[in-house]
């Protein structure tokens, strides 16, 4: 199976496209040693968001590593942030600029196309099908695209990221009223810093599927990994730390669910 999927009963779909760590056996030998740690994985997010299933949300979680193919990049491999550094559809280096492949082993155009068909399209087909099912059943649906990242990644930004980075494609991927509901929720606490449409405005999934006029409201949340895990190998989950942010995450998703059901 190319992903893990659990259908829900509520108009809420949790997508976790960067949680995967697997690389097919037939391709594993092409990678260099820097790929072994899977350092840029969005670790443990299914565990952090375990409450989503209890809320009745559908949950779609990737199996394959982003080092194989990045499910949150457009199939044309265009830069989501023109003029800024980013990694591509089939990354050739890590966030720390370490090469993922020995010289001459990076995927060529034909291999990229093959990976698109074999690993990228199945996830997106399931995502699209579930959005259509939920929209047909409820009239409209919220897509919550969950991500995490180290709190400091000098390649992409200076200093430390805010704790919670919401992306709505500058307000295009969801209703302004939904964004306001999330803003009010996060403003109601003082523990965690946050920003809307800062460095992270939403990736391909948010921008591609978010279509408020058609009843699909998409939000990306990129959160600092130090809020729930160790940011250094072996990237252990820290339940006592995660327990501090989980109530807010649940409150945010509940606010989205309450809004979409009104």
**pTM given for the model:** 0.96
Tens of pLDDT, residue by residue over 109-133, are 999 999 999 999 999 999 999 999 9
Residue 7: which pLDDT band, with cuts at 50, 70 and 90? very high
Structurally, what CATH architecture does the domain formed by 3-261 represent?
A: 3-Layer(aba) Sandwich (3.40)
Euclidean distance between CA atoms 253 and 247, whole angstroms: 10
CB proximity list for 54: less than 8 A, separation 6 or greater: none
Counting Cα atoms < 13 Å in the Cβ hemisphere of 92 gives 10
Residue 1: which pLDDT band, with cuts at 50, 70 and 90? confident
- Once rounded to an integer, what is the mean pLDDT over residues 202-225? 98
Inform me whether the pLDDT recorded for 191 exceeds 90. Answer: yes
Above 90 in pLDDT, residue 21?
yes
pLDDT at 199 over 90: no
> In the chain, how many H helices and how many E strands?
8, 7
Asked if the model's pLDDT at residue 181 lies above 90, the reply is: yes
Domain boundaries, the chain: 3-261
pLDDT at residue number 253: 98
Which phi and psi angles does 22 have, rounded to 5°?
Answer: -80, 145
Average pLDDT score, the chain? 97
Indicate whether 187 pLDDT > 90.
yes
Tokens coding 226: 């130090």
Residue 42's CB is within 10 A of a number of other CB atoms, namely 23
Query: Which residues have C-beta within 8 Å of that of residue 205, sequence separation ≥ 6?
Result: 15, 17, 71, 72, 127, 143, 145, 218, 220
Interval 77-112: pLDDT, tens: 888 887 788 899 999 999 999 999 999 999 999 999
Within 13 Å and on the Cβ side, how many CA atoms surround 215? 15
Q: Quick one: pLDDT at residue 166?
A: 98
What pLDDT score was predicted for residue 84? Answer: 81
């Amino acid at each position: 199976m190319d992903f893990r999927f659990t259908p829900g009963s509520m108009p809420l779909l949790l997508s976790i496209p960067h949680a995967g760590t697997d690389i097919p056996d037939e391709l594993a030998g092409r990678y260099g040693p820097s790929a072994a740690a899977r350092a840029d994985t969005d670790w443990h997010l299914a565990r952090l968001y375990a409450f989503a299933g209890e809320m009745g949300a559908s949950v779609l979680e990737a199996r394959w590593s982003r080092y194989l193919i990045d499910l949150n990049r457009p199939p044309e491999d265009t830069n989501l942030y023109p003029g800024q550094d980013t990694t591509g559809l089939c990354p050739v280096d890590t966030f720390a600029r370490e090469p993922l492949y020995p010289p001459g082993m990076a995927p060529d155009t034909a291999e990229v196309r093959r990976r698109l068909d074999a690993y990228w399209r199945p996830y997106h087909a399931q995502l699209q099908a579930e959005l259509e099912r939920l929209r047909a059943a409820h009239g409209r649906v919220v897509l919550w695209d969950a991500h995490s990242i180290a709190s400091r990644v000098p390649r992409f930004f200076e200093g430390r990221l805010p704790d919670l980075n919401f992306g709505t494609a500058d307000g295009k991927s969801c209703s302004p009223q939904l964004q306001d509901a999330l803003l009010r929720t996060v403003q109601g606490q003082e523990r965690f810093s946050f920003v809307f449409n800062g460095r992270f405005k939403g990736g391909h999934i948010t921008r591609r599927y978010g279509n408020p006029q058609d009843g699909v409201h998409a939000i990306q949340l990129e959160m600092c990994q130090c809020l729930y895990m160790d940011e250094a190998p072996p990237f252990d989950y820290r339940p006592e730390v995660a327990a501090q942010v989980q109530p807010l995450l649940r409150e945010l998703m509940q606010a989205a669910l309450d809004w979409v059901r009104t």
